[in-house]
Structure 1
């Protein structure tokens, strides 16, 4: 059975150093369970049986665009933060529905966005 794990976050990032930074910022934002994936395929497979409370993703990884993951998160009512160097206008329509943070960003900007996403879980619209 798939249930939404409290205070959990899925991080989808293929640059190891950025993924480590995201992990640290997620912990600073109050997340206690962190799952990091470096490919869209592995994240999509994990999401078939798991649901995080929030997700943080890039628009494109080495194995391609993360559009299917963003759509699956939206279908599961998982709020997500997009941290990307891409422009909102140049991406799949699934992405701008997330909270957008442009790369590069400050730790404070990312932590604020993660807390905003977490608040959406606490008080869904």
Structure 2
């Protein structure tokens, strides 16, 4: 198995989906994962951590994670929106992410993640 570098923040409040994502990502070699289920946890975690990419469900236990998306965008951290929400109804900050509608095809999610990480790496080496 190829080891992937890069830390990934996963925001998902449905335990089964979070578990699926964790299995998918660790199966693909991502072992630096942080899984959180609320906006408050994520905002707090981001104060002292910087992931290389994030996968966000818009609706978490304590509401929409708009503030989290703003923090990621401000810090140029690429993120993937993995949500059942409609793009048209979402806050405009979410449009800065890559949209993968739920339920996602695993390869679609992994491809988007690899592209995000490549972009993140390119931005860091500028």
Alpha-carbon shift at residue 119 of structure 1 (Å): 1.1
Name the structure with the higher helix share: 2
Question: What is the rounded CA distance, in whole Å, between the counterparts of 1:29 and 1:51 in structure 2?
Answer: 21
Residues 81-100 of structure 1: pairs in structure 2 closer than 5 A: 81-100=80-99
Superposition RMSD in Å: 1.4
Unpaired segments of 5 or more residues in structure 1? 1-5
Q: TM-score, normalised by structure 1?
A: 0.89
Q: Distance in 1 between matches of 2:13 and 2:34?
A: 13
| Matched-pair contact (CA < 8 Å) for 1:9–1:26 | no
Q: Where do residues 86-125 of structure 1 align in structure 2 (5 Å cutoff)?
A: 86-124=85-123
Whole-Å Cα distance in 2 between the matches of residues 56 and 98 of structure 1? 9
Residue 62 of structure 2 corresponds to residue 63 of structure 1:
yes
Task: Quote the residue 1:3 is aligned against.
Answer: none
Deviation of the 1:25 alpha carbon:
2.3
The aligned residue for residue 32 of structure 1 is 31
Corresponding residue pairs, total = 120
**What do the CA deviations read for 1:48-93 (whole angstroms, capped 9, x no partner)?**
1111010000111121000000000111111000001111110011
Give 3-state SS (helix, strand or coil) of 1:48's partner.
helix
User: Using CA pairs below 8 Å that are at least 6 residues apart, which structure has the higher relative contact order?
Assistant: 1
